[in-house]
A and B are shown apart, each in its own frame.
Chain A
Amino acid sequence: MRRTLAIAVGLLTLLGEVGLYQAVAESPTKTDGAWSFRDGDRVALIGGTFIEREQRYGYLETALTIANPDKSITFRNLGWSGDTIGGVSRSGFDPPEAGFKQLVDQVNAVKPTVILVGYGANESFAGKAGLHGFVKGLARLVDALKPTKARFIFIAPLKQENLGPPLPNPEKHNRDVELYAKAIEEFAKRIGGAFVDLDPFGKEGSSPGSIHLTDNGVHLTAFGYWSLAKRLGMDFSVDASFPYYKTGSVTIEDLGLIQLARTPSDATQMVGLYQLSQVERTPRGLRFKFKSSQLRLPVPPGDLAKSEPKGPHRQLTVDSLDDGDYRLEIDGKTILSASRERLAKGVRVDGDPDSNQVEELRQAIIRKNQLFFYRWRPQNITYLLGFRKYEQGNNAVEIPQFDPLVEEQEKKIATLKKPVPHVYELIREEPKGGAK
């Protein structure tokens, strides 16, 4: 007898963020629609606190990494708080204008093939009066970095989120930010670079969802970075879209024959998302091999994951099972227990190996960034490389010793970003203590 079995594995979206998602979906702006990463790319990220603080959380980098699992792409975060297009924060003991040379040298030192430029937020405080100088600064920087032959991605500055008093009302300032963003977009178009506007705040600085993305108006929280990461991943995914929030189902009509059917909604994306194989009935249930084609973003940070029952998660729907209670084992490890009825409706799967792997990946990215930070911006630079180097400069031998440690993490990242197959098994529990 033929039985129809349907297994659906997918993600549910966080309800509170539907608004955010929609705001995002309509706007990814790329001047070059065909823009994509290439195998072997080395991305240098430059800018102010927005860029610098990303390395603390790693969400943006994780999104870009998992969106390109089959390409080797490495990232070097060279962000510096308070920085401007002239590199003013990098000037150290020298006059402010010396920062520009530092900026160019620092970018050159990482041998980039892609340069992601995230300036404009700090400059925007100078308003319209500073705009001309800023655009000239962009041109000067691109010109100075031309010898790298790198492709450019420009990120629009984020507006300020309006968090209400006692923090300042950002409306006026946000109009200036918009001016700068527009100027960057035009500049990007002119030189044939990519332009990305991730800004989630409107002129009024309102937050797209119910949860604030910054805690002071100007700097993203971990959740803020996580939210933006979804968008960035979409822009630079292998596919044109980055389907973290799509749901769908895959029906297996015949045992032994895996047929991937398109559901009316969005199965196109789903096709690329995962593979089921070796689906087989076992005496006590069902076993199949599952492999994602791409990892998904980690769960949102902090309490959100715990407190939001409807946060994004993997859902497993299996019908046509025999009556009874089942436990789900992944790679031999028990993950959950559920009745046939609940499985038919769909159960939430937490702590699956892919989720763990992507978190491990994010931690490796954070550690890599930290080691690289110790490498390129070591503490005590005055003694190691600066004007007191003839005293403690001997200690500078330690600095290149961070290189192999960074490489070690890169290897880890390269492995972790590739999904691996996992064996899922549903096993019917023996009724406890009595006959049925």
Chain B
Amino acid sequence: MNKSLMGATIRFGLLAAILTVPGLANAQRAPFAIPDPDPEVERKSFILADGFEVNLFAADPILAKPLQMNFDPRGRLWVASSEVYPQIKPGQVANDKVLILEDRDGDGKADHTSVFAQGLLIPTGIEPGDGGAYVANSTELLHFKDTDGDGKADQTRVVLSGFGTEDTHHILHTLRWGFDGLLYFNQSIYIHSHIETPHGVRRLGGGGIWQFRPETMQLEVFIRGLVNPWGHHFNRWGQSFATDGAGGEGINYCLPGAYYTTAPDAVRILRGLNPGSPKDCGLEALSGRHLSESWRGNMLTNDFRGNRVCRFVISDDGAGFASREQAELIKTRHVAFRPIDVKMGPDGAIYIADWYNPIIQHGEVDFRDPRRDHTRGRIWRVTAKGRPLVARPKLVGAKTEELLEALKAPEDWTRQQAKRVLKERGAAEVIPKLADWVKRLDSAEPEAIHHRLEALWTYQSLDVVEPDLLAESLKSGDPRVRAAATRIVPWWKERLSDPIALLTPGVEDENPRVRLESVRALALVPSLQSARIAMRALDKPMDQFLDYALWLTARQLHSFWLPEVQAGRFDFDGHPSRLVFALQAVNTPDVVKPLLSLVEAGRIPEDQLAPVQTLIAKLGDARDLGVVYKLLLKEGSIPTARRASLLDTLANASKDRKVIPAGDLDAIQGLLNGSDATLRASAARAIGAWKIDSLRPRLIELAGASDTARETRASALDALIQLGGVESRKRVEELAEKGKTAQIQSLALAALVSIDAKAAAKSFAAWLSRLSAKDYPESLNVLSRFLERKEGPEQLSEALATSSLEPDLVKVLLSGIRGSGRDLPLLTATLTKVGGLTASPRALSPEEMSRFIADVGRIGDPARGEALFRRKELTCLKCHGIAGAGGQVGPSLESIGASAPIDYLIDSIFQPNKMVKENYHALVVATSDGKLHTGIKSRQTDSELVLRDAEDREILIPFSTIEEQKPAGSLMPAGLTESLTREEQVDLIRFLSELGKVGPYSVSKERIFRRWQALAATPEARKAIGRTSLDSVAQSGESLSWEPVYATVAGAVPLAEVPEIRRGGNAAPLGMIRAQMDVSSGGPIELGFNSTEGLTIWVDGVRTEPNPENMNFVRLELKPGRHTLTLAFDRTRRKDDVRCRLVELSGSSARVQAVLGK
């Protein structure tokens, strides 16, 4: 064990001693120590950001299990709390509460508590307002009123009902008044809500944020998706952000109307701004004089798994935003600190609701787990040391003129609450004074622009149209005001003379965010004219956010413009790029004809050509397909790789939709004889799909020739079977029996499975028994074909029952079964038996479990555990990422240790199906060709379901071919860790249990390159390095093979894991790694290394030198797009592991993200 790690362990030991009360009643069952519930013990465990201190504002017993909190304009803190969560017990009377906590003397501690409402069932949201408070109460949104002023609700009104309750940590939550006077509230992924309003029924099945105006009962969906959007807040200019308690992408910018991860019916989604982040709960924008300048405008959220209150800095990134994580406000190893909400208070301090529970979640941990806490809860108050607090504003009872002056306050809290009071005071009282206030605003005042925006929002809040101030704001010198004003237009559309005309200039505004808001606002004033105007945005530079916004608008308005285009009456004013963009966005067969005529007229802009061709090939009829077919036949017309993929699309069209291109199909022979193996394979597939009988002899020839590439051979064999007939079958059977190599035999056997699985199973069994050891991997070619058929595993099991196979061969086959993600007990048992292996160990007994847990804490070594985790044979990283680097099939693990009890970790590894993280359930899809596909649902397009399989590949399944879908368990194969010794298993669990806890295994906020690829030590690589220069390898590495290598949790790439490339002569062996970064806004940035000693650095193949003044940094000037960083090192000179991070320069416009994933 190295020194620093030892230090960490000792620290942990000390902390544990402080936090633990020995002999607690349920400690027996507890796999971890239940901490001492004394709030002071918890407070002392907090590690705060420099310059801050924390005090206890309120705690149990007056407060149990806070779920959400919000201040009212009097400065009282309202808290929704639930002791019933996660599930009401038979006979239990639901008596959850809404509390009001008051600090009357201003000493930072609650001195008065009252129970405002009770008798509630898991109230997950609270927002005071309208003479009482709105409360989320499971299926209902209630409004409670206190008419006699005794601090207790005496009237209850059901405002909305019909919210789903499929999961009690998903139910209606995160109530919040918007800057616009609307009430926003959220729901999570499993919730299906069906809400009746006087405007009709509104439905949302899945996560999302609702937008609601209580007095008009207008209810709309603001954004759709996110797994657990437990945080939502807006910045000073009215731009919304959300956090996700399961999505793992940090701060999400809420583009109005957009779809995010897991959104139902999402065809295309927007991603979060911090991919690879832990999961968060709550969100607040910081503001006001109590905090120092560098903290204002920052956002706070809570990594409740990792016991941290996190801080993010948000900045502009084109039409959207970038977000960067900073050092935490609070972190601790106290396992019961569960910050779930954060709010700024009337005094300018930060308030944090601490749900206080060693157990979180109820999906994975038993509802009735005795370790669950039901009675405690804390509110913490964080203040900046030595800085004066803000005087608590008196708003209720203030004169209207004073309230209007409060709209100038630097504290968001004051402005927001003043607007609430104004709203409740009503238009008749406020409007005349508001108009007067606006008139008297001094435009020389530096903040005058913002004051006018607040005034505009006050009008919106009171639902009084003010066309002049709106028009003036749309022309403001500040783009943030123009953007905010744009969003108001659709809300007033019926009462404005020409809303589209008001939105028109914004589409071509010089500021990208104004363009984005204009494009989105036009979708809410639906008409042909809106579509026509919106597409003008394409004339200005686009970015990912604008592209998404315009795509959404084109789709939403398609019923207005598409029929006009089809009728030949409309073409977006003769701009092909606009028309093509819009047609592509719609992506239905209706758009094929208009696109094709553009293709034939040669009017498709160059950069849109490729996707248009694919779209036509995918959705067109025989004639349409014929045009694409003709095009790809011509050599040099389009790049070879594209020809192959277009050909595949055409072949699939005949498989999925029975459409065959019109034209001379025999001409495909030319492609079959070409030099590119991929194109040849595609041609063979097409021949099979189109049943071109005349080419059968050529296929037979290719299938059997020894120099045919594997890919082409496999396609040729399958195509032969597809062509059908006795001749084909006979030839394939011959190859299966007597083919020159094991590869030929196995691919032929694989092809035979599709026509006669029973016979093929028998031949396969016989073939296996004579297979030589070096060819064992070829057996997987055949196995996979059986596994993708419904009856396949059973048939195979039957054929193998009487065999006797080499144990090593059986191990290869078992690994193939694991990789399929399917649970196949019968076939597994048969193989285990015929290979003479022993069966998998049974589940741990309770005694074994507690011994195991004890050993994890006692002797588990996290460093050894990490090395095991990274071991290729264990395939952990194939499916699981840490901070975004690694596979995406399984849940990301960066905070698993801080969130999951150890028994959960053990169960998850030994019995993967026992508990499955939400959103990670596999789906088994049966298609009309008799095949089964298993994977995690990744998304769906208009016509296809997209699964991610156990190999982390995307599988596209057309809806038209789906016969049945069934949820399955985990994709994680059982028995992955069987090859490990018990000590190793203990180390591995210890490593996982440390992930995300304060210490060496929490992910750094530095923007480290975590996903690398290393040049594989192949003969080709050696040859390329020997014959050409390193520069040319760095420039054109594509033809060589690279394998993934990920940074450790600490961020370094271990050199020992990078393949050694030996060079001729005396040259020292070499290693080469590369990583990628996406630039969304261009400009200067720096790369920071632990050291550049012994490194040769290329960016996009160009040699790049470290800064002369500080050799650990490399300065770059990057344009938008993807860039590749390549590093080579001489293995004798470079000794340190490589750690490299992105450093954004202050003042630079550059926004860069390291590319993550597999």
Contact = CB atoms under 8 A, between A and B. Distances in A.
B657 to A, nearest CB: 22
A167 interface: yes
A96 to B, nearest CB: 9
Given A386-B166, A388-B363, A392-B366, A56 B158 contact: yes
Contacts of A391: 363-364, 914-916
A80 B157 CA distance: 18
B194 A80 contact: yes
Interface stretch (B81-89, B597-605, B722-730): B81-89
B216 interface: yes
A193 to B, nearest CB: 25
A113 interface: no
Interface stretch (A69-77, A195-203, A377-385): A377-385
Nearest to B198: A217
Contact of B194 (A89, A215, A378, A394): A89
Nearest to B196: A49
A92 B194 CA distance: 10
Interface stretch (A59-67, A237-245, A336-344, A395-403): A395-403
Interface stretch (B57-65, B199-207, B320-328, B1038-1046): B199-207
B216 A166 contact: yes
Contact of A381 (B90, B162, B166): B166
Contacts of A170: 198
A92 B203 CA distance: 12
A394 B199 CA distance: 42
Among B190, B198, B215, chain A packs the most CB atoms within 10 A around the CB of: B198
B296 interface: no
A169 to B, nearest CB: 10
B192 interface: yes
Nearest to B139: A81
A351 B166 CA distance: 42
Contacts, number: 132
Given A167-B217, A401-B90, A383 B198 contact: no
A380 B201 contact: no
A302 B196 contact: no
A216 interface: yes
A387 B216 contact: no
A302 B155 contact: yes
A261 B725 CA distance: 101
Contacts of A49: 161-162, 196
B138 A379 contact: yes
A52 B195 CA distance: 12
Contacts of A56: 158
A52 B200 CA distance: 17
B366 A395 contact: yes
Interface string B898-938: 00000000000000011110100100000000000000000
A122 B201 contact: yes
B367 interface: yes
Given A167-B217, A402-B90, A219 B196 contact: yes
A387 B189 CA distance: 14
Contacts of B197: 216, 218
B168 A379 contact: yes
Given A379-B138, A387-B921, A394 B366 contact: yes
B158 A379 contact: no
Contacts of B199: 168
Contact of A380 (B161, B162, B166): B166
Nearest to A398: B90
Contacts of A81: 139, 161-162, 194-196
B161 to A, nearest CB: 5
A361 interface: no
B368 interface: yes
Contacts of B915: 391
A62 B1150 CA distance: 69
Contacts of A378: 87
A92 B914 contact: no
Contacts of A374: 88, 90
Q: Which of B87, B171, B205 has the most CB of A within 10 A?
A: B87
B862 interface: no
B916 A82 contact: no
A218 B217 CA distance: 10
B198 A218 contact: yes
A53 B142 CA distance: 13
A392 B194 contact: no
B463 interface: yes
Given A49-B162, A379-B165, A388-B916, A82 B90 contact: no
Contacts of B192: 89, 91-93
B362 A398 contact: no
Contacts of B397: none
Contacts of A386: 166
Given A167-B198, A392-B362, A383 B167 contact: yes
A77 to B, nearest CB: 13
Residue from the set A122, A125, A217, A379 with the largest chain B CB neighbour count within 10 Å? A379
B91 interface: yes
Nearest to A370: B94
A81 B159 CA distance: 13
B427 to A, nearest CB: 11
B122 interface: yes
A170 B197 CA distance: 12
A125 B161 CA distance: 18
Contacts of B216: 166-168
Interface string B211-239: 00001110000000000000000000000
Contacts of A92: 166, 192
B913 A390 contact: yes
A387 B166 contact: no
A398 B198 contact: no
Contacts of B916: 388, 391
A48 B196 contact: yes
B969 interface: yes
Contacts of B611: none
A160 B198 contact: yes
A81 B139 CA distance: 9
B967 interface: yes
A386 B168 CA distance: 14
A381 B165 CA distance: 8
Interface in B364-392: 364, 366-368
A302 B157 CA distance: 11
B82 to A, nearest CB: 12
* Among B157, B194, B915, residue most surrounded by chain A Cβ atoms (within 10 Å): B194
Interface string B55-83: 00000000000000000000000000000
Contact of B90 (A91, A394, A405): A405
B493 to A, nearest CB: 15
Contacts of B918: 388
A125 B200 CA distance: 6
A398 B89 contact: yes
Contact of B969 (A80, A125, A390): A390
Contact of A392 (B193, B196, B217, B363): B363
Contacts of A48: 196
Contacts of B167: 379-380, 382-383
Contacts of A215: 157
Interface in A386-420: 386-388, 390-392, 394-395, 398, 401-402, 405
19 contacts: A49-B162, A53-B158, A80-B162, A82-B194, A125-B200, A166-B215, A167-B217, A168-B198, A215-B157, A216-B159, A219-B196, A379-B167, A380-B86, A380-B168, A388-B921, A391-B364, A395-B368, A405-B90, A405-B91
When A and B form their complex, which 5 residue pairs have the shortest distance between CB atoms, in order from nearest?
Answer: A81-B162, A82-B194, A401-B90, A387-B967, A89-B194
Interface of A: 48-49, 52-53, 56, 80-83, 88-89, 91-93, 121-122, 125, 160, 166-168, 170, 215-219, 221, 302, 374, 377-383, 386-388, 390-392, 394-395, 398, 401-402, 405
Given A93-B205, A379-B87, 10 more contacts: A167-B198, A216-B159, A374-B90, A379-B138, A380-B362, A382-B167, A382-B190, A382-B363, A390-B913, A405-B90
